[in-house]
Amino acid sequence: MSLTENAIAPSIAKRFARIAGTGSHLPPRRLSNAELAAQLAERGVETSDEWIVERTGIRARHFADEHTTASDLGTIAARHALEAAGCSAADIDLIIVATSTPDMVFPSTACLVQRKLGVHGCAAFDLQAVCSGFVYALSVADSMIRAGTARRALVIGAEVFSRILDFDDRGTCVLFGDGAGAVVLEASDTPGIVACEMHADGRHVDILCVPGTVAGGKVLGDPFLKMDGQAVFKLAVGVLENVAQSVLAKAGRQCSDIDWLIPHQANIRIMQSTARKLKLAADRLVVTVDEHGNTSAASIPLALDQAVRDGRIRRGDCVMLEGVGGGFTWGAILLDY
């Protein structure tokens, strides 16, 4: 069914969106800090498990093999989410993929996922907001469902960041990993997504970027990730607290109403600082950065799916999602799961 055909499908009462199912997928190859340090030592780059854990909280990450793409990871995560939601790919009328590591310049990774799921006709597009991508994508899907232009959406975060890492730069190459997470978001009579916000400040484009492009059959500029870690940390801590408080105010709720906080999994210090500022106990913070590293747009849906499947997050729980990333972008979503 096409997006246009669905425009009249939802009843006027169904102007909310709820998460019906979650899914995720990690590449099989797990690389511990010790293993990564040994590989880097062969390049003359010095680091250690202790150094990485102390500064980031990361102990391991997963890397895709050379033949695996973001659409491959995203498709598997999507299938798990569809199974959890009790629906099929044919029931989906919108696919949004948040990614900064697409399979190709075009078509979109979302269209490639659509093909791999064996469906056609529904709207499919990519959204690029780096590590805030999933929050942005979920907000867009929520708006489209509320507007009545979609009934059931697949929202996916999928990344193969290992492809854009400079393994001579220990300040960045130890931070990132590959993976994908997905949710099925569907129309509902009652709110699931309660409130959301998205922000950006282009004045800070240089502190986290990949300043290269493709032109004339070759790469122009630098194709590797560049980051000013201190600048990112300083901005992230401030904007995450502010956007969380703003979203709570929109929803008419308090910090004490939050059952679970799922921030972008970039750095344990940033995550713990945000939880403290929101006066949340440490055990209310969902942490996967230790085993996943920073998977950019995939980090929040990966963490969400893990917490749902291990039984921590249950129906009716109030969950805060927060993302911050290159652009400089940030945003938050408050939802009743």
Q: pLDDT of 129-165, one tens digit each? A: 999 999 999 999 999 999 999 999 999 999 999 999 9
pLDDT tens across 198-237, in order?
999 999 999 999 999 999 999 999 999 999 999 999 999 9
Q: Is pLDDT above 80 for 11?
A: no
Q: Which of 25, 80, 264, 292 is catalytic?
A: 264
- What angle, 0 to 180 degrees and rounded to 10, lies between the N-to-C axes of helices 229-251 and 268-277? 30
Q: Which of 156, 188, 220 is the last residue of a domain?
A: 188
CATH code of the domain containing 173: 3.40.47.10
Task: For residue 294, indicate whether it is catalytic.
Answer: yes
Instruction: State whether 25 and 124 are in the same domain.
Output: yes
Q: Are residues 207 and 228 in the same domain?
A: yes
Shared domain check, 128 and 81: yes
Last residue of a domain, one of 137, 163, 188: 188
137 plus 178 within the same structural domain: yes
One domain for residues 157 and 300? no
Residues 62 and 81 in one domain: yes
Q: How many CB atoms lie within 10 A of CB 42?
A: 8
Task: HSE, CB side, 13 Å, CA atoms: give it for residue 197.
Answer: 21
The confidence score (pLDDT) of residue 13 equals 59
Domain extent, residue 228, equals: 193-336
67 given a catalytic annotation: no
Count of Cβ atoms closer than 10 Å to residue 12 Cβ? 6
Residues 171 and 147 in one domain: yes
Active site includes 264?
yes
Among 173, 188, 203, residue at a domain's last position: 188
Domain co-membership, 256 together with 312: yes
Task: Let me know whether 197 and 182 are in one domain.
Answer: no
The total number of structural domains that make up the chain: 2
Classify 190 as helix, strand or coil.
coil
The answer to whether 177 and 197 are in contact (CB under 8 A) is no
Query: What does DSSP assign to residue 265?
Result: S
145, 228: one domain: no
Please state, rounded to an integer, the average pLDDT across all residues of the chain: 95
Q: Which of 111, 122, 131, 196 is catalytic?
A: 131
The one catalytic residue among 62, 267, 294, 318: 294
Please indicate, yes or no, whether residues 102 and 201 belong to a single structural domain of this protein: no
Structure tokens at 247: 């979203």
The dihedral region occupied by 325, where left means phi > 0, alpha psi between -120 and 50, and beta the remainder, is beta
Domain co-membership, 106 together with 142: yes
Residue carrying the six token digits 């093909």 = 115
Quick check: 8 pLDDT over 50?
no
